[in-house]
């Protein structure tokens, strides 16, 4: 199938409305055509600067204005970040994502993060960062430092966005994605479901992602992690089958992209994750924590992979460039 960037809302809604088995069958066929259906890309996410964020994202425990028990911390030192990256690599992760709870990085922080990127890249891992809004100069600097991916999620549909975030506009997110693409960086861009949005609004998120000038190389689909003290605590949980529908539709609309199970995986059963892998998910975050919320530990993931016959995707090093064997983070608060 050819890649499209002109989907209508009605087309995406019709896709999500398909009978469940028909949708999964179609998604799995697309997945098998474009990817190894039994290989999953494994990433690890580290919060290099936690808490104290001035934004008001209703899902985020790192927002300074909410009382969630997350304390503001300073940017981690380089050596501590490298220790975590080495541990992640030893546990089987091939990509290392660094997240900071900033609205946007200050110039004094850019060089510190650039140094982290260069040192992690030297370990033979793909590098990813999620640091908030970027200027073109900042995106160019991170590219020069060796950054492979930049995560900047759309979060939700344009028409629902104002009910979740008031401290920045939807257009601001599109502007940062433009800077990232212009710098030659790969994009990691998805959203969060289960925030009280409708299926039609979930279709709006997928439509916007699929109609970007370039499909994101990684598309994280996060299921809301409810944290006491945030405005979305107490939201009615999303039907698990609706989550699988999102995975399947993302796979069909963006066939070459990596579709990632991100936040909320700790609450997912093995059976639900298996359905997601069948529907086209082929990337996960690996390790015990996603920035400030829990994540299945590596032993549980390894056991699940063994039961399903899934293997982690390898990376190859060629001429100093790290890339996934198969063509391929977040959010600045919980996942990428």
Per-residue pLDDT tens digits for 6-53: 999 999 999 999 999 999 999 999 999 999 999 998 888 899 999 889
CB-based contacts of 330, cutoff 8 Å, min separation 6: 45, 97, 99, 130, 151, 153, 188, 190, 220, 222, 262, 263, 290, 336
Report the alpha-carbon distance of residue 14 to residue 16 in Å, rounded: 5
pTM (predicted TM-score) = 0.88
- Annotated catalytic residue within 53, 179, 189, 276: 53
What pLDDT score was predicted for residue 30? Answer: 97
276 is catalytic: no
Catalytic residue among 60, 179, 189, 276: 60
Active site residue 189: no
179 is catalytic: no
Among residues 26, 141, 168, 188, which one is catalytic? 188
pLDDT given for residue 72 in this prediction: 83
What pLDDT is stored for residue 209 in this prediction? 98
Instruction: For residues 74-103, give the mean pLDDT.
Output: 91
Residue 53 annotated in active site: yes
How is residue 8 written in tokens? 């209508």
Active site residue 60: yes
Of the residues 57, 179, 189, 276, which is catalytic?
57
Residues 241-252 pLDDT 10s: 999 999 999 999
């Amino acid at each position: 199938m050819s890649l499209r960037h002109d989907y209508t809302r009605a087309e995406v809604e019709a896709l999500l409305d398909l009978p469940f088995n028909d949708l999964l069958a179609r998604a799995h066929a697309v997945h098998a055509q474009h990817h190894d259906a039994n290989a999953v890309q494994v990433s690890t996410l580290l919060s290099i600067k936690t808490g104290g964020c001035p934004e008001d994202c209703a899902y985020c425990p790192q927002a300074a204005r909410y009382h969630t028990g997350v304390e503001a911390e300073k940017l981690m030192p380089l050596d501590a970040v490298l220790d975590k990256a080495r541990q992640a690599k030893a546990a089987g992760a091939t990509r290392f994502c660094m997240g900071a709870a900033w609205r946007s990085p200050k110039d004094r922080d850019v060089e510190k993060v650039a140094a982290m990127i260069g040192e992690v890249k030297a370990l033979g891992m793909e590098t990813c960062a999620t640091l908030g809004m970027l200027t073109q100069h900042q995106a160019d600097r991170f590219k020069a430092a060796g950054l492979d991916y930049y995560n900047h999620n759309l979060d939700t549909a344009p028409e629902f966005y104002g009910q979740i975030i008031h401290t920045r506009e939807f257009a601001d997110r599109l502007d940062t994605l433009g800077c990232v693409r212009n710098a030659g960086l790969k994009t990691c861009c998805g959203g969060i479901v289960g925030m009280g949005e409708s299926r039609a609004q979930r279709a709006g998120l997928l439509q916007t992602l699929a109609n970007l000038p370039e499909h994101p190389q990684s598309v994280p689909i996060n299921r809301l992690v409810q944290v006491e003290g945030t405005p979305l605590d107490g939201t009615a949980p999303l039907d698990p089958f609706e989550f699988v529908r999102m995975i399947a539709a993302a796979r069909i609309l963006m066939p070459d992209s990596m579709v990632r199970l991100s936040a909320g995986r700790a609450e997912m059963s093995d059976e639900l994750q298996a359905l997601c892998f069948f529907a086209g998910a082929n990337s996960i975050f690996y390790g015990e924590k996603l920035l400030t919320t829990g994540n299945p530990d590596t032993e549980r993931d390894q056991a699940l992979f063994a039961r399903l016959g899934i293997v982690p995707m390898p990376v190859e090093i060629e001429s100093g460039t790290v890339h996934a064997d198969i063509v391929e983070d977040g959010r600045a608060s919980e996942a990428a």
